[in-house]
Structure 1
Amino acid sequence: MSKKKKQIMLFLYYSKHFSLKPIKTKQIVVCFDGLFPHGGLVDRLKGIVSFYLIAKALGYDFKILFDTPFELDVFLQPNAIDWKFKRSNVKWHPTKTRCLYFINNFNANPLAVIKKSNASQFYVYANIDYSKSIFPELNQDDLEKKWREGFNQLFKKSDFLEEKLNTISTEPFIAFHSRFTSLMGDFKDTTSKKLSAEEKNRLCDVLLQIINRVKAEEQQKAYLFSDSINFIKHIKQQVEINTIEGNPFHMDNFEMRSGIEGHLKTMIDFFMISKSKKVYFLKVKPMYNSSFSKYAAIIGNVNFECLEV
């Protein structure tokens, strides 16, 4: 979709909420309303935390409109600030409101864009971690600390999510995570490449060797997290390893609608990884990168290592 078409879509949507009522408080609203594909859980959290940090730096009010494909507060509740924002609150002033589309815009500097604008209210669509451009003076460790603090100021787990997590053993464990997207033939994602049966077996054998080596070194209980249920089943047949029940599910996989249980699985995986003693991300060619376990490790303040072959 072209940039011009996106701008037209935004104008047509927000102009329906036309209002000349004065905007008294400067405000940033990060939106996940289904108007565009927004990405998976971590992509959404990147956008949320980035613009919370911007709002905090500028002294703006901060809100989150997140009702697609579920209401965010089912899983994550406001912690230090009340960020809830409903569609019924949407208002569009012709000169004081501005819509900003930053999805997959890695080169943008949204802090500078907002500071230069004469608008008072911003509806933002974003899925990038902009902390480096917000705090260029900080090193990686300090950036991660800043991100973790922002996340914790925004969110606490809902009772529903906490209860589900509490049913799982808290015995110390290490976490393995992998991302295949379509490679193992589970589902279509942003990619469509599928491996042959021989290629799948060869890849699984390499990954199994890595898992066995790390398990032998760590001598710890281990959990395996992956977007491929086929891979999980294959590994469980070969080695003793723990997994979380349910099928992996991507929030923007519109061809595969899921009830709340599918999204609960994503949340449980994420926060379980954050509780681990150490996170190992498995990446053997032609597998794909993922920020899922990296940001879970940041939230949990646990060590993260990418095992790349």
Structure 2
Amino acid sequence: MYFLEIISVSQTDGYFTHKKQTLFLSLVILAIVVMVSFMMGYKMSTSKFLPSVASQYQDNIETSTTSLPDPPISTIIPPVKGYIVYDCDDQHPGPCGGWSDRMAGIYSSYVISVLLRRHFLIRCTRSFNLSDYLVPNLFDWKYNSSILTGRSWDYQDFFSKTPNALKKDDLSNLRRLFPHDVDFVRMNLDYTERFRYFHVLPNLIPWVLELHFADIFLNFFNTFFQPTQSISQTVSKFVQNEKLLACAHITVDVKKKIIGNERYDNKEQLDLIWNLLKVMMASNYSIFVSTNSKAVRNTANTLFTNLLEVEGPILDIDKPVGGSGLVDGSRKVVTEFLILAKCDVLVLTKSGFGIMAAYLNNKTSDIYCLTTNDLVPCSRYTIYSFYPDEIFSPV
């Protein structure tokens, strides 16, 4: 009996062991089946949320054995190849415009180079060489003619024009517009509103889409440029010596004698600016006036005995002149622009030069815009509504 009991127990243990093994194997198989089903289900479920183009691309890869289609344009960024060169030189006739025209042209040319995946360079030598006063900051944009060796090239002038490829926000047409290895282009407008219609923009240069154009210019300028050591020292010394600085930029159409929308010899309109600066001076502000008019400068010198000034003659940078006046005048233009960008109070007239300085000046306490009948408070973000013409604002 004892022996039989042992045999019975042994058989029973073997039976349970076999059952355990069978159960374990079944569980393993079941787990594998569930995992495979889950993976297939997950793949099917996620494919429903892919964009239609990407979904078609995925389906084509799975079903085709001969050739693969091009991937979705939004997911592939091609390598940088070729050059877009902003051009303002004496080799080509026609205007480049003043300071704001050139800066707007450089900015727009740069964005086009990004859209086309090109290297970007600057050749700005009309009246003065830009690199004598502003040097590259985060990357080298200086043009060197050696890039033309063995490459095709051409020049196009879009001064005060908008290329049809930008009007149609068509990247293919933009490529056809600039088909060469090196494309020189002259522009003077800010095409931000046009650029924002290009579907590749968020992937390539998102800040053009996301920022207000005052901050777009701030970002662009600080990325590209820094003043030379000499200019930087002059500006720093000028600003640091003054506790508070109230500034005005007064641009006059000398031929038409227009300031803002009226004749600049309209005493009442100019008095709006002078009266504000007198209040500032009484509050211990130092006074600085930048202008393209000798008459305005003489008036300012009469009214403010301690008026701060940058040495050098008044210069129209799009009109070539000779002699030492060109160097001193060019240096004066750049220095005054950078000083205006650091003023505590800034008074503006209808001018891209002053508007751009205000865009750079994100620490000023007060900005005022001269209108036809009044001098009103404004800001970096509202200037363009007071001066809506094509003065460094999107067109």
Q: TM-score, normalised by structure 2?
A: 0.59
The CA distance in 1 between the partners of 2:81 and 2:327, in whole Å, is 35
How many pairs align?
Answer: 266
Contact 2:338 2:357 in 1 (8 A): yes
Show the counterpart of 2:302.
237
In structure 2, the residue matched to 1:248 is: 314
Q: Cα RMSD between the aligned structures?
A: 3.1
What SS does structure 2 have at the residue aligned with 1:243?
Answer: coil
Number of the residue aligned with 1:53: 111
Shift in alpha-carbon separation, 1:103–1:91, aligned structure 2, 3 A = farther
Q: Residue 25 of structure 1 aligns to a residue in which SS?
A: coil
Aligned equivalents of 1:100, 1:107: Cα separation in 2: 10
Q: CA deviation at 1:87?
A: 3.7
Which amino acid in 2 is paired with 1:292?
F
Q: Distance in 1 between matches of 2:279 and 2:369?
A: 18
Give the direction of change, closer, same or farther, for the CA distance of 1:81–1:46 in structure 2 (3 Å limit).
Answer: same
Secondary structure of the structure 2 residue equivalent to 1:164: helix
Measured against aligned partners, the alpha-carbon deviations of 1:87-119 in whole angstroms (never above 9, x if no partner) come to: 4544585xx544321111157628745344444
Aligned letter for 1:245? E
- Structure 1 segments unaligned to the other structure (5+ residues): 1-23, 183-191, 283-288
Larger radius of gyration: 2
Question: Secondary structure at the residue paired with 2:96?
Answer: coil
Secondary structure, counterpart of 2:319 in structure 1: coil
Query: 2:223 aligned to 138, 153, 160, which one?
Result: 153
SS at match of 2:289: strand
Counterpart check, 1:265 vs 2:321: no
One-letter amino acid of the counterpart of residue 33, structure 1: D
C-alpha distance in structure 2 between counterparts of 1:265 and 1:86, whole Å: 26
Q: Which amino acid aligns with 2:289?
A: L
* 1:121 paired residue number: 182
The structure with the largest helix share of the pair is: 2
Larger deviation, residues 165-174 vs 25-34: 165-174
Change (3 A) 1:270 1:33: same
Partner of residue 178, structure 1: 250
Cα distance change, pair 208–67 in 1 and its aligned pair in 2 (3 A): same
For residue 124 of structure 1, report the CA deviation from its aligned partner.
Answer: 0.6
- 1:248 partner letter: I
| Residue number in structure 1 paired with 2:286 | 221
* Aligned 8 A contact 2:126 2:320 in 1: no
Letter in 1 for 2:174: I
Deviation of 1:267 (Å): 0.6
SS for the counterpart of 2:213 is helix
Q: 2:83 aligns with which of 27, 38, 41?
A: 27
**CA–CA separation in structure 1 for the residues paired with 2:105 and 2:263:** 34
2:197 and 2:358 mapped to 1: Cα distance?
A: 22
Give me the whole-angstrom Cα distance separating, in 1, the residues matched to 2:210 and 2:246: 23
CA distance in 1, matches of 2:360, 2:148: 31
1:85 is displaced (CA, Å) by 0.7
Q: How far, CA to CA, are the matches of 1:149 and 1:44 in structure 2?
A: 17
Percent identity of equivalent pairs? 21
Residue pairs, 1:10-89, within 5 angstroms:
25-34=81-90, 35-36=92-93, 37-89=95-147
Letter in 1 for 2:340: I
1:266: Cα distance to partner?
0.5
Cα offset, 1:200, TM superposition: 7.9
Q: Which has the higher contact order (CA 8 A, sep 6+)?
A: 1
Tell me how far 1:217 sits from its aligned partner: 6.4
Task: For residues 211-267 of structure 1, give each alpha carbon's deviation from its aligned partner in whole angstroms, at most 9, with x where no partner exists.
Answer: 213542683332111101221112221245433333210111236664311100101
Query: Amino acid of the residue matched to residue 293 of structure 1?
Result: G
Return the match for 2:358 from 283, 288, 297.
297
User: 2:275 is matched with which residue?
Assistant: 212
Amino acid at match of 2:317: M
Q: How far apart, CA to CA, are the structure 1 residues paired with 2:127 and 2:267?
A: 32
CA gap 1:299/1:136 in 2 versus in 1, 3 angstroms:
farther
Residues in 2 aligned to 1:100 and 1:56: alpha-carbon distance in whole angstroms: 18
